[in-house]
Amino acid sequence: LEEQIREADKLSSIGLLAAGVAHEVNTPLAGISSYTQMLLAECGEQDPRRTILEKIRRQTLRASDIVNNLLNFSRTGNSTFAPVSMRALLDDTLQLLETHLRGTSIEVVRRYGDNLAPVWGHAGKLQQVVMNLILNARDAMPHGGVLTIAATSEGNAVTIEISDTGVGMPDDVIHRIYDPFFTTKEVGRGTGLGLAVSYGIVQEHGGHVFVESAPGKGSTFRVKLPGAVPSPSSARGQAAEAVAGQN
């Protein structure tokens, strides 16, 4: 519990700081982006300066992605929840990521049926979690492997499992994966925010993330989320609380 409180404190103070910085940084970024757009519109197709402007535009987009991640990270607790079909969400996410998985020698295995209970949550945020986990799995398998996406419901909870047969993680990495800005990826590839953001989102849903990993063996991330259907004897809020309080 001590550990959890420290973790929550760390996350919330970083969240506050992040929200402030993100707002300040977003405005000039939007400016750079639109001025670049204006210059691009004035450049002829053959103009050698186009390449430079395109680079500025791409880097600006990347910076605003990072900022938006930070914003999402700090903006917990004020989203509207509704029942979310995990099957539809997983199908959509895989379709969205098709281009990121194509051209790799990664085999995608789907192991979920249509009898999953709906989750009580925010579809966009939950999709972000699944997306982060899938992209991490892809990055862990530079020479190919198997990416398995599974989901099961049990009672009032749904568990999503994203496994890879990739590089895996030693213990000292596992201990730090949820730390904001912790990354082992090369500069320009990883922000170290993916799992910190995902962790925050899962917490906000009253769920839990579990990880199992070993170097050379691959990793499995398991996300357990409270279902949307209240158990017979309790109101929805109480059901969610009960799940959140289980550990």
Number of Cβ within 10 Å of residue 31's Cβ equals 11
Nearer to ligand ADP, 51 or 59 (CB): 59
Beta bridge partners of 226: 157
The region of 16-24, 148-156, 176-184, 237-245 touching ligand ADP under the rule CB under 6 A is 176-184
Does residue 69 touch ligand ADP according to CB under 6 A?
Answer: no
In this chain, which of 108, 127, 192, 231 binds ligand ADP, going by CB under 6 A?
A: 192
| CA 188 centroid distance within chain | 18
Beta bridge partners of 161: 150, 222
Of residues 197 through 226, those in contact with ligand ADP by CB under 6 A are 219
The count of C-alpha atoms lying within 13 angstroms of the C-alpha of 192, restricted to the half-sphere facing its C-beta, is 13
Does residue 184 touch ligand ADP according to CB under 6 A?
Answer: yes
Q: Which residue is nearest to ligand ADP (CB)?
A: 194
DSSP state, 227? B
Nearer to ligand ADP, 51 or 184 (CB): 184
| Rounded CA separation 96/102 (Å) | 11
Helix (H) or strand (E) holding 18: helix 2-42
Q: Give the length of the chain.
A: 247
Does residue 59 touch ligand ADP according to CB under 6 A?
Answer: no
The region of 18-26, 31-39, 146-154, 190-198 touching ligand ADP under the rule CB under 6 A is 190-198
Which residues are within 8 A (CB) of 58 and not within 5 positions of it... i.e. 6 or more apart?
none
In this chain, which of 22, 134, 158, 169 binds ligand ADP, going by CB under 6 A?
A: 169
* Nearest Cα residue to 166 out of 223, 115, 105, 116: 105
Does residue 191 touch ligand ADP according to CB under 6 A?
Answer: yes
User: In this structure, what are the phi and psi dihedrals at residue 8, rounded to the nearest 5 degrees?
Assistant: -65, -40
Of residues 26 through 55, those in contact with ligand ADP by CB under 6 A are none
Structure tokens at 66: 């990072």
Binding marks (x or -) toward ligand ADP, 101..140, rule CB under 6 A?
A: -------------------------------x---xx--x
- The contact set with ligand ADP (CB under 6 A) reads 132, 136-137, 140, 164, 166-169, 173, 177, 182-185, 190-196, 219
